[in-house]
């Protein structure tokens, strides 16, 4: 899947938004009136990624994150994220990515795809 496909799937399946394509892509919130600009990008924007975490928490998922390894200068090189469902024995695999935002999004997608 492409990056825009991942963003669209997160917006629709995690956030519960609908797409509106009237000349430009916007996301309609659940009430059908408020909209989010198409530039909403949880793969690169930390605020948007944390919105994904909050949406998953509202769905009763628990969030765990690990920072793995270190690169020169003390920067972390890999993040691992998993969303855990309450009262479900099946544990989803950790999702690894070079950025915190990307790891959150990969983990959210893995969680919602496992529900289908």
More confident site: 58 or 1: 58
Number of structural domains in the chain: 1
- Tens of pLDDT, residue by residue over 39-97, are 788 999 999 999 999 999 998 888 888 877 665 555 455 677 888 877 676 778 888 88
Q: Are 28 and 18 in contact (CB under 8 A)?
A: yes
Query: Mean pLDDT lowest for which of 3-7, 90-94, 103-107?
Result: 90-94
Assigned token pair, 11: 């917006």
> Taking the model in full, what pTM does it have?
0.80
DSSP 103: H
The token pair that represents 1 in the structure block: 């899947």
Residue 53: what pLDDT?
94
Residue 109's domain spans which residues?
A: 3-115
62-68 and 95-97: which strand pairing?
unpaired
**Confidence class for position 108, pLDDT limits 50, 70, 90:** very high
Q: Which string of DSSP letters, residue by residue, matches 20-66?
A: EESSSEEEE-TTSS-EEETT--TTT-HHHHHHHHHHHHHTT-EEEEE
d(CA 12, CA 71): 35
Write down the pLDDT at residue 35: 54
């Amino acid at each position: 899947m492409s990056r825009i496909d991942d963003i669209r799937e997160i917006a629709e399946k995690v956030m519960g938004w609908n797409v509106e394509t009237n000349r430009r892509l916007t996301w309609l919130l659940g009430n059908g009136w408020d909209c989010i600009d198409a530039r909403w990008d949880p793969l690169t924007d930390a605020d948007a990624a944390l919105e994904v975490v909050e949406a998953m928490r509202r769905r009763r998922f628990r969030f765990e994150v690990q920072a793995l390894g270190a690169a020169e200068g003390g920067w972390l090189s890999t993040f691992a994220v998993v969303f855990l469902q309450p009262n479900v024995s099946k544990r989803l695999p950790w999702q690894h990515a070079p950025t915190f935002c990307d790891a959150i999004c990969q983990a959210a997608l893995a969680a919602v795809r496992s529900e289908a």
